[in-house]
Amino acid sequence: MSGDGGPVVGRLSVVGVGPAGPEWITPEVAARLEAATDLVGYGPYLERIAGAHHRVHASDNREELARATHALDMAAEGRDVAVVSGGDPGVFAMAAAVFEALEGAQPRRWAGVEVDVAPGVSAMQAAAARLGAPLGNDFCVISLSDNLKPWSLIQRRVRLAAEGDFAMAFYNPISRARPWQLGEALGIVREVQGPDTLVVLATAVGRGEREDVQISTLGEVDPAAANMSTLVIVGAASTRVLERPSGRRHVYTPRYVESAESR
Ligand code: SAH
């Protein structure tokens, strides 16, 4: 039953399918996808997971609100709709757009639609796990895309995060339309934290031979080595490299912060 006592007529599942292959899809998300009659999302994600029983509604990555509205309309007709994002649906993805659509509509328009969000493995978790534990202490997460917010706000957040000695994960670091933002963001952190601060460019994590993970410092990193499939991790002051006897290098941030490093 919906909150006002009316019948539930349809269901909308907002799910995240992880940053790469099926091993990073949770059993809950797999079950939602199996139950769904219709899949809504960005084409390349849908191709990865669509089954023979699905109606597939692919759309452009930029039309989030229109896509959410379409999904809610289908659910209101009694369909079982899954709105699909890569990674986690709540991290720079479709979950917020669904609630934005719900809030903007007439209260009764989708009254019978039950909306549930199922979490997924986010790119920062996959990238951090590849390295070891670079996000093992306090960290913050910033999208460098200024499509939906002003660049001045991003600059301010990056600077304050650096002043707070947070490790950081940057999503959407670079694109053809936004070629300089990553270099500028890394420059802001470098001004505050210094050129020896660790930075990792983790590209296409989990996607087989395309995966590329580079460990560097703010003094040496080349922002042009990042692309749209890169998750950037910038270390805190205490973030360090641990080299194992095999030569494999891990990056981690200790749980315990020395008072000298806490500024
Ligand atoms: N909801 C997604 C993020 C969508 S924004 C999540 O939770 O992961 C898209 C950005 O995610 C990309 O620009 C990149 O920064 C990051 N990303 C997605 N998949 C990735 C992967 N396999 N490896 C590295 N970064 C990835």
Please provide the average confidence, as pLDDT, over all residues in the chain. Answer: 94
- For residue 207, the ligand 1 atom closest to its alpha carbon is 22
**Model confidence band, residue 107 (pLDDT cutoffs 50, 70, 90):** confident
- C-alpha of residue 230 to centroid of ligand 1, in Å: 7
* Rounded average pLDDT over 136-150: 95
- For residue 175, the ligand 1 atom closest to its alpha carbon is 13
Kindly provide the residue ranges of all beta strands, DSSP E only, lying in the chain, ordered along the sequence.
10-16, 38-42, 55-59, 80-85, 113-118, 132-133, 139-143, 167-171, 198-203, 212-217, 230-234, 240-243, 249-252
Quote the pTM value: 0.94
119-136 pLDDT, tens per residue?
999 999 999 999 999 999
Q: Report which secondary-structure segment, H or E, holds 64.
A: helix 64-76
Rounded to whole angstroms, the Cα distance separating 108 from 215 reads: 52
Which of 230, 232, 233, 234 should be mutated for ligand 1, with most atoms under 8 A from CB?
230
